[in-house]
Amino acid sequence: MTTLTAGKNRVEFLSSGSRIAGDLYCPDNFDSNKAYPAIVSAGPLAAVKEQAAGFYAEKLSKKGFLVLAFDYRTFGESEGQPRCYENPAYKTDDIHNAVSYLSSLNNIDSNKIAALGICASASYIGGALIGDKRIKAFASVSGYFNLHDVIAFNPLVSDEIREAMFEQSNNARQKYFETGEAIRSDLLYSAFDGKSEEQFMKDVYDYFFTRVESCWPNFSRDLTLFSVEELAKSNVLNFAPFITTPYLGVVGENAPTRYQTEQFIEAKSQGMSQIKVINGACHIQAYDLDNYVDQAVDSINDFLNEQLKG
């Protein structure tokens, strides 16, 4: 039995046989005799729990929620092989099992569980929502729903580079099958050199290069090479018409990815959907800059209080 206290609690649960490491944040005035509404908080592609997922989890816990941030299978402190394997199907399965874990706890009202997806985790949670009705409300921040775009329509990836990526991916998959060795590489951020004047590019370099060693030592930019094949076939927008869960999409006014949330809302024809635009914010600035995150947290809090009431 998990014994919880106020603040951050280190927890573990199993997902398809792998031990998943998580941090469960409880309100400052936590009462062990009460059952609370809960949130699964899941972060950007390749990220670990100490990054945006944990940042939001801590702030939302102060609003009265129990919030779980965790390392997906093969990432951070969680088990799973090959390491740093960006597989949307695995990650959606981990979301299901995170909900199962929360539902098993005495201090959580299993009828009041929500999910927060930041960047790519909006897609992974969207995949879970096709059938998992235990999640009563869904919010995203800087949501990215069509991961196929990362490979197929990335302005940093030419046709020649894309074909080379697939060839490397195929070769790496064969090597892993034959030897058990998984080759890893900086698939997504190798083109970033910190010299761009474009705000999004500057933010990416700051977040994933400048700050990682001091802030998040468990994070790695190097993904298993055949992650590319999994990303290329992942587009939850195809399933949005079947998702009925109430939804709030939080986006930065200046985020180049804002269209992804707008497309999801347009495609999601069932259940309520709404958008919250944070004035002045870009995509990554909504991850952990207090002046933007606090606005997002207030909107998410209001949304969840409305959807989880009763």
The per-residue pLDDT for range 51-87, each reduced to its tens digit, is 999 999 999 999 999 999 999 999 999 999 999 999 9
Dist. CA 45–CA 122, nearest whole Å: 10
pLDDT at 263: 97
Residues 6+ apart with CB under 8 A from 125: 40, 42, 92, 95, 115, 116, 117, 135, 138, 140
Dist. CA 199–CA 211, nearest whole Å: 16
**Tokens for 18?**
């792998």
Answer yes or no: is pLDDT of 1 > 80.
no
Q: What is the pLDDT of residues 227-274, one digit of tens each?
A: 999 999 999 999 999 999 999 999 999 999 999 999 999 999 999 999
The model's confidence at residue 154, banded by pLDDT at 50, 70 and 90, is confident
Radius of gyration of the chain (CA): 19
Q: What is the pLDDT of residues 192-235, one digit of tens each?
A: 666 777 888 888 888 888 888 778 989 998 999 999 999 999 99
pTM of the model: 0.95
pLDDT at 252: 98
Select from 218, 236, 242, 74 the least CA-distant residue to 150: 236
Answer yes or no: is pLDDT of 94 > 90.
yes
Q: Which long-range contacts (CB under 8 A, 24 or more apart) does 14-18 make?
A: 14/97, 15/73, 15/93, 15/94, 15/97, 15/98, 16/73, 16/90, 16/93, 16/97, 18/73, 18/74, 18/78, 18/79, 18/80
Dist. CA 63–CA 172, nearest whole Å: 45
Please give the share of the chain, as a percent, with pLDDT higher than 70.
96
Q: Which amino acid type is present at position 105?
A: L
Question: Interior CA angle at 90 toward 153 and 182, to 5°?
Answer: 80
Q: Which residue has the higher pLDDT, 167 or 194?
A: 167
The model's confidence at residue 189, banded by pLDDT at 50, 70 and 90, is low
Select from 226, 227, 203 the least CA-distant residue to 286: 203
Answer yes or no: is pLDDT of 6 > 90.
yes
Segment 31-54 shows an average pLDDT of 97
Place of tokens 């709404």: 274
Return the axis-axis angle of helices 121-129 and 88-103, rounded to nearest 10°: 70
Segment 111-135 shows an average pLDDT of 98
Q: How many CB atoms lie within 10 A of CB 12?
A: 14
- Judge contact between 234 and 123, C-beta under 8 A: yes
Helix/strand/coil for 172: helix
pLDDT at 272: 97
pLDDT at 19: 99
- Judge contact between 263 and 275, C-beta under 8 A: no
pLDDT at 175: 98
Average pLDDT score, the chain: 94
Dist. CA 299–CA 283, nearest whole Å: 17
Q: Domains of the chain, with CATH numbers?
A: 7-145+235-307 (3.40.50.1820)
pLDDT at 38: 99
The model's confidence at residue 187, banded by pLDDT at 50, 70 and 90, is low
**Tokens for 179?**
């030897």
Q: Which long-range contacts (CB under 8 A, 24 or more apart) does 89-93 make?
A: 89/127, 89/230, 90/16, 91/42, 91/121, 91/124, 92/124, 92/125, 92/127, 92/128, 93/15, 93/16
